[in-house]
Chain A
Amino acid sequence: MKAPVSWIREYVDLPADVTTDELTRRLTALGLKLEGVESAGAGISGPLVVGRVLTMEPEPQKNGKTINWCTVDVGAANGTGEPQGIVCGAHNFAPGDLVVVILPGGVLPGNFEISARKTYGHLSAGMICSARELGLGDDHDGIIVLPADAGEPGDDAFDVLGLREEVIEFEINPDRAYALSLRGIAREAALAFGAPFRDPADRPVPAPNDAGYPVFVDDPAGCPVFVARTVTGLDPAAPTPDWMARRLQQAGMRPISLAVDVTNYVMLETGRPIHGYDADKLAGPIRVRRAREGERLRTLDGTDRVLSPEDLVVTDDSGIIGLGGVMGGETTEMSDTTTNVLVEAAHWDPVSMFRTGKRHKISSEAGKRNERGVDPVITPAAADRVVELLVTYGGGTADPGVTVVGSPPPQPRITISYDLPARVTGIAIDAATTVANLEAVGCTLDKADSTLTATPPPWRPDLVDPFDLVEEVARIVGYDRVPSVLPREAAGRGLSREQRLRRRVGRTLAGAGCVEVISFPFVGDAAFDALGLPADDPRRHTVRLANPLSSEEPSYTTTLLPGLLKAAARNIGRGATGVSLFETGTVAFPVDRGPAPIYGVDWRPSDDELAKLFDAIPEQPLYLAVVLAGERERAGWWGGGRAAGWSDAVALVRRLGTELGLDVEVSASTRAPWHPGRCAQLAVAGEPIGYAGELHPKVCQAFGLPARSAAVELDLDALMRRARDVVPGPEFSTYPLAKEDVALIVANDVPAADVEAALREGAGPLLESVRLFDVYTGDQVGEGRKSLAFALRFRAPDRTLTEEETAAARDAAVALAAERTGAVQRS
């Protein structure tokens, strides 16, 4: 909402020395959020003066244009009093006209400096200005010709053109719909400065009579008040007065025609949207009702609309002529030949306005006000103001008929105890202050001994609850008076187990050289295709969005990999030779258990109802993904670098397992987007939790990643669920260690983990550790076979092991490995 300061001052007697700064500061403190202050003449600096054209000599030029060589009387503004010689390209003026002249030394918007310069064979000392050059509009038909009484030559033109006018733009919160009018803003200014307020809607209004245009309201709940007035004999060519056009422009509205401009002006002035009909296009009585299923209307924006039975419509004998309170219809629209106008000022049900606006996607100035709530009481006054302005500036005649149907709905009564404002705000607010402040905002009070009953003023439909009154009292007292007091110390339980574990996971990965990224969780088929997911992969079954940002990514993601792989590729594209990234984030899987219920809000839903609600929400586990692309270790003076590979990915998961006190079980698997021969399934206590390994070559290619990039994705919730909470203190022996190394030859497809498990089991309780330290393939072990070298470490808790004991344990280990995996000890 844009409000010119002079317009505000029209309704409130602010002290003359109140600056715009001070005004906005105080209004902000009351709750009108400042968006900005603009001044119409911003970008112009003087001398900008009124001039009278004395002579003009048309001079045709070789280029086909004709310029005017003019002399202009600018009074004493040029320091000499002599006429100023100026070349002008426009032709819409004549000697004797008053024009606007910028003299050398002045600056126009766009930092356009004016100087005396030689042009078309003359020394042109300044410029006669058009509205566009002054940034006052798009009118470039010619220069500005001022009204004959605008001033004298040499007068400062800033004031004449209103260029010093400052316009304050407010962002009006939905609860303060009354401030979508100058009436409302001035009322707040009056409150802010304790200055007298003159209500522009407080005017004598002719009494309703039966001579007015016939109106029937079938739905008084939807349209409690409908006022109709008629103005006849308008001059369709009558211009909008300059002052009104200027104010409309300052408020951000485009002047169109007198009749339209007057309705808009009164809306800005009073907050009440007004609709004007071309009375000659109306047929029979007006009737307000709900639309019927399938009815249609072409609104004046040219859109054909199919109406809903919830829409309130205005009809006449021809059918529907308007979407009540939201937008008029095309058939009865005012035009540049309209001479008779029917003025409609009506009060509409805000909920109905909101729904109609939303349903038809109409966002209009009228709708914005009607859906938030307008003062119903001033409806006749607003209509009368429109009539007055049309009569004054359009040369029309006010028809004596005054139609008023219905009456404003009653105001609620709100009872509070006197100390409620103090109890809620913590400010020492006494009863007298509460009473005074509620009266200041327009409430009518019924003061009992212990309670106070307030009837809010009709322009404050937002005041409904006791706490609404508290806010009114508090904002006038001043939020700066709220003391700063810490609440009592709460007996909190600290971070949850999961929150602590998540931090550990993040620190572990960062410690392992991975950088965390946060991506948008939106995904589409292109990403799934690039990952090579089969058509029936469950990850393609997504929670879809009804209104995605992009139709390419219409779903909430089921995997973190697309975002992560793209981020890795972005880094590589920006010159990184290697990048290790991780992300933790929720993914979503549909549960398809029907819609989530909507409950009332007047009491808590039952536990069963809540269970039903929670049940309908998609599953959203926390996932962890890692991508390792390109160099994992850098080359340097220490030697060569090392590219990331499948084992780095698996190693990270094992490291995480260690951090969480878990043994991660690794087994070979195949799953997109991993390389089918280099994909590990990860499990904890037999429960699969995710996958790690090298990415499929096609996936690397599709995402623009270096060959052999590796990745991990796992269900972090599942991993953390199994994390050990209390680790038992280990017991360990200090007797000497016995070492035995064995090399076992197995078939190539035997997993090392199986051999290791057999060794571990076969070695028995004396085994302290087993570690694979070499893998050999080649002639010495034969085609299709590999040699796995393990270091076995034995130790007893209570004695030094003998060679025999150690050898026996080793042999038992090898024997079980042989039995389970066909291993043959290499000699």
Chain B
Amino acid sequence: MSGPNTDYDPVEVTPLKPEEVEAARDAALAAIAAAADLDELKQVRIEHTGDRSPLALANREIGALPPAARKEAGQRIGQARGAVNQALAARQEVLEAEHEQRMLVEETVDVTLPTDRVPTGARHPLTTGSELIADIFVAMGWEVAEGPVIEAEWLNFDALNLGPDHPARTMQDTFWTDPPEDHLVLRTHTSPVQARTMLSRTPPIYVVCPGRVFRTDEYDATHSPVFHQVEGLAVDEGITMAHLKGTLDHFAAQMFGEGISTRFRPSYFPFTEPSAEVDLVCFVCRGAGKLDGATCRTCRGEGWIEWGGCGVVNPRVLTACGVDAERYTGFAFGMGIDRTLMFRHGIEDLRALFEGDVRFTTAFGTEL
């Protein structure tokens, strides 16, 4: 029925006067700027933007204005409140950043304090060393074969062309179980594992056999009655000494670094023929024998390090283990893991490996 009262003469509303609004806004902005911390700012927020703040109260009056005036007043108030809120947010951000920074400074600790609440564990370097070797061969597609340490004499000796009257038997001072007529020994090498592998599988065979072996040696800095060997055996059609050399060169490079290779010297082992001793290019002086003008300590100036023995599997061994020696040839090699670690890591006394002093073992960490 009735439209807006366009005749209404606006009543002058004091709080909405521009100068009042500006004053309220300026007071708020000043208070915001003066707030020294987040608590003060909170107070300022209540005072200048809360329900009872001048601008909020002024806003309520807009309804009392005639419609023609509302827009302008609304804009005026809105701008003022916007400016205040913006200033508040900005100040809030600054104060929060300050607060955080102060807090972080206050929370500073001495990070150099010790943290060794639970002491570190470690696996034995002989274990991790054996695994390193195993991994090198597994990467070539070989497998890791294992067997018992108390072994049948026939497997430890006879099957390997070490008959009862073979002079080479005395080269390996053997622990026998009691009574010796039981024909059981503590294996003197891991070769019986090779024999077991050939007895139980048909070629192609590519296995490494790491493990614990025994000789009745005196226990000193370089000898131990208990030590560790890794042996390798490949039996396949067309295997030659060249494959043996290739495999050992690869092994040497993986274990000691690129460019470290091997050389062969004629030797004798009953289970191989031809047989060779394997030397390794000294990985410290790289064959020079000298290091910074002084004699290389690792190879004692030789440029080479004696590493192990190897050769072409004696056909007699293949035959005893049921491998057709007409069709297949093989190669085998063996080296001491303890000794390898000794020169790889500069360990002076072999006995450190067996004493169980945690200071020794933890030095190697959990992998080699």
- Using a CB–CB distance below 8 Å, which chain A residues touch chain B? 28-31, 33, 173-176, 351, 354-355, 358, 371-372, 423-427, 465-468, 470-471, 474-475, 479-480, 482-496, 499, 503, 506-507, 509-521, 543-549, 554, 556, 563-564, 566-568, 570-571, 574, 576, 578-581, 585-586, 588, 594-605, 610, 613-614, 616-618, 620, 632-634, 636-638
A520 to B226, Cβ gap below 8 A?
yes
Interface centre among B151, B154, B163 (most CB of A within 10 A): B154
**Which of the residues A31, A355, A483 comes within 8 Å of B242, measured between beta carbons?**
A483
With both beta carbons as reference points, the residue of chain B lying nearest to A612 in the complex is identified as B152
Near A by CB (< 8 A), chain B positions 192-231 give: 199, 204, 206, 212, 216, 219, 225-226
- Using a CB–CB distance below 8 Å, which chain B residues touch chain A? 113-114, 116-124, 126-127, 131, 134, 138, 140-144, 146, 148-155, 158-159, 161, 163-168, 170-171, 175-184, 186, 199, 204, 206, 212, 216, 219, 225-226, 234, 236, 239-247, 249-250, 261, 263-268, 273-277, 312, 314-316, 319-322, 329, 353-358, 361-362, 366
Given A492-B140, A616-B183, 5 extra CB contacts under 8 A? A371-B167, A427-B242, A482-B242, A585-B212, A596-B153
15 of the cross-chain contacts (CB-CB < 8 Å) are A33-B265, A474-B274, A475-B274, A480-B264, A483-B242, A513-B120, A513-B121, A515-B121, A516-B122, A568-B356, A571-B358, A580-B121, A595-B181, A596-B152, A603-B320
Separation of A423 and B328 alpha carbons in the complex (Å):
11
A546 to B163, Cβ gap below 8 A?
no
B184 to A617, Cβ gap below 8 A?
yes
B159 to A632, Cβ gap below 8 A?
no
A617 to B148, Cβ gap below 8 A?
yes
**Which of the residues B141, B170, B178, B243 comes within 8 Å of A491, measured between beta carbons?**
B141
B148 to A174, Cβ gap below 8 A?
no
What residues of A have a CB within 8 angstroms of the CB of B239 in the complex?
A: 487
B274 to A518, Cβ gap below 8 A?
no
Separation of A31 and B249 alpha carbons in the complex (Å):
21
B119 to A425, Cβ gap below 8 A?
no
A426 to B241, Cβ gap below 8 A?
yes
A-B contact count (CB 8 A): 306
What residues of B have a CB within 8 angstroms of the CB of A580 in the complex?
A: 119, 121
Separation of A28 and B170 alpha carbons in the complex (Å):
23
**Which of the residues B114, B121, B140 comes within 8 Å of A511, measured between beta carbons?**
B121
A602 to B320, Cβ gap below 8 A?
yes
B138 to A492, Cβ gap below 8 A?
yes
What residues of B have a CB within 8 angstroms of the CB of A620 in the complex?
A: 148-150
A713 → B minimal CB distance (Å): 16
What residues of A have a CB within 8 angstroms of the CB of B236 in the complex?
A: 487-488
Separation of A513 and B358 alpha carbons in the complex (Å):
11
A455 → B minimal CB distance (Å): 19
A479 to B264, Cβ gap below 8 A?
yes
Q: Closest 4 interchain pairs by CB?
A: A426-B242, A567-B356, A604-B322, A31-B266
A601 to B314, Cβ gap below 8 A?
no
| In the complex with contacts A470-B273, A632-B118, A29-B206 CB distance below 8 A | no
With both beta carbons as reference points, the residue of chain B lying nearest to A577 in the complex is identified as B119
B268 to A175, Cβ gap below 8 A?
yes
What residues of B have a CB within 8 angstroms of the CB of A427 in the complex?
A: 241-242
B245 to A571, Cβ gap below 8 A?
no
What residues of A have a CB within 8 angstroms of the CB of B275 in the complex?
A: 471
Separation of A354 and B150 alpha carbons in the complex (Å):
26
B246 to A486, Cβ gap below 8 A?
yes
B247 to A521, Cβ gap below 8 A?
no
B264 to A515, Cβ gap below 8 A?
no
A616 to B184, Cβ gap below 8 A?
yes
Interface centre among B154, B176, B268, B358 (most CB of A within 10 A): B358
What residues of A have a CB within 8 angstroms of the CB of B322 in the complex?
A: 603-604
Separation of A510 and B365 alpha carbons in the complex (Å):
9
B341 → A minimal CB distance (Å): 12
With both beta carbons as reference points, the residue of chain B lying nearest to A422 in the complex is identified as B240
B366 to A601, Cβ gap below 8 A?
no
B176 to A512, Cβ gap below 8 A?
no
A618 to B184, Cβ gap below 8 A?
yes
What residues of B have a CB within 8 angstroms of the CB of A601 in the complex?
A: 158-159, 161, 163, 316, 319-320
B154 to A599, Cβ gap below 8 A?
yes
A471 to B273, Cβ gap below 8 A?
yes
With both beta carbons as reference points, the residue of chain A lying nearest to B329 in the complex is identified as A424
What residues of B have a CB within 8 angstroms of the CB of A499 in the complex?
A: 134, 144, 146
A546 to B358, Cβ gap below 8 A?
no
B241 to A482, Cβ gap below 8 A?
yes
A353 → B minimal CB distance (Å): 10
Separation of A599 and B181 alpha carbons in the complex (Å):
14
B171 to A465, Cβ gap below 8 A?
no
